[in-house]
Amino acid sequence: MANSSLVIVQNFLRQDLALKYRRSVLGFVWSLLNPILMLSAMTVAFSFLFSRDTGPGGFALHLFACLLPWQCLTACIGQGSKALISGEKILLQVAIPIWIFPMRRALFAITEYTLSLLALAIIVWFVGFRPSWSLLILPLSVLCLFGFGYGIAAISSVLVVYYRDTEHLISVILKAWFYVTPVLLPFTAIPENLLPYFKLNPAYYLLQMFDSPITLSELPPVETIVLAVVISSVAALAGSLVVARYKDEIVFRL
């Protein structure tokens, strides 16, 4: 059963990637153009405010380190929250484990992020990025991002089935969440008196897992590594438990 479920997830992932770039002349290049243009615009707009203490590459490198995983996280949650209602026809026709649907969205977002990260690494070389041994922690960083994204997506997808207005609420929350997360604001520029409040945000630790090795060329603090692993594990477990709890009722609620 587990093997067949994994095969289904893989097939869904291939299908999603093929559909996104079908009939597109530039194909995957479009996934690079969007972050490149956004990074360029934000760097020009905000770099003069945070020109100090942002690492060897300055504000541009910080944006590369934090904006892309943030977009990946919001894609996991935003698209994942609609995973069950968008898969209604399949769920009503075929007996498929419902956890596959939020997992599908999370895997798609992570796959796009990973491919973009590898491709854009060449570009950020010109803004001061230099590989270091601290980059070896990035697989763990991506795993934490995936675990947290899947867990929240799984919970929110069930909520959307029961309360359809939740879909719109999630969109508002994600927009507000952006402004209380160190994406535009470098970690080293956070005022000391506000730091305890920023640390209440789970995304603080998830993004620092990327910012430290990429922007500062150093490992994240031990506290950050431990909390990122715990937060992502708890979210993934909670999401799995919620899906398991309501798996028999979901079809009748769609």
Question: What does pLDDT average to in each consecutive run of 10 residues of the chain (254 residues)?
Answer: 65 68 58 66 60 57 86 92 86 81 89 77 68 90 96 95 90 93 86 92 96 90 96 96 89 77
CA-nearest of 112, 153, 150, 135 to 65 is: 135
C-alpha 62/C-alpha 58 separation (Å) is 7
| Residues in CB range of 21: below 8 A, 6 or more apart | 27, 28, 30
In order of 2, 3, 49, 52, the CA distances from 218 in angstroms are 38, 38, 24, 17
For the entire predicted model, the pTM comes to 0.84
Instruction: Give the model's pLDDT for residue 140.
Output: 96
The H or E element spanning position 223 is helix 222-246
Look up residue 218 and give its two tokens.
């150093």
Instruction: Give the model's pLDDT for residue 63.
Output: 82
Phi, psi of 133 (to 5 degrees): -65, -20
C-alpha 80/C-alpha 109 separation (Å) is 10
Instruction: Give the model's pLDDT for residue 11.
Output: 72
Instruction: Give the model's pLDDT for residue 26.
Output: 55
| Residues in CB range of 60: below 8 A, 6 or more apart | 39, 43, 47, 124, 127, 128
CA within 13 Å, CB half, 160: 24
Instruction: Give the model's pLDDT for residue 161.
Output: 92
Count of domains forming the chain: 1
Instruction: Give the model's pLDDT for residue 114.
Output: 83
Domain membership of residue 50 as a residue range: 2-253
C-alpha 182/C-alpha 204 separation (Å) is 7
Instruction: Give the model's pLDDT for residue 164.
Output: 87
Amino acid at 222: V
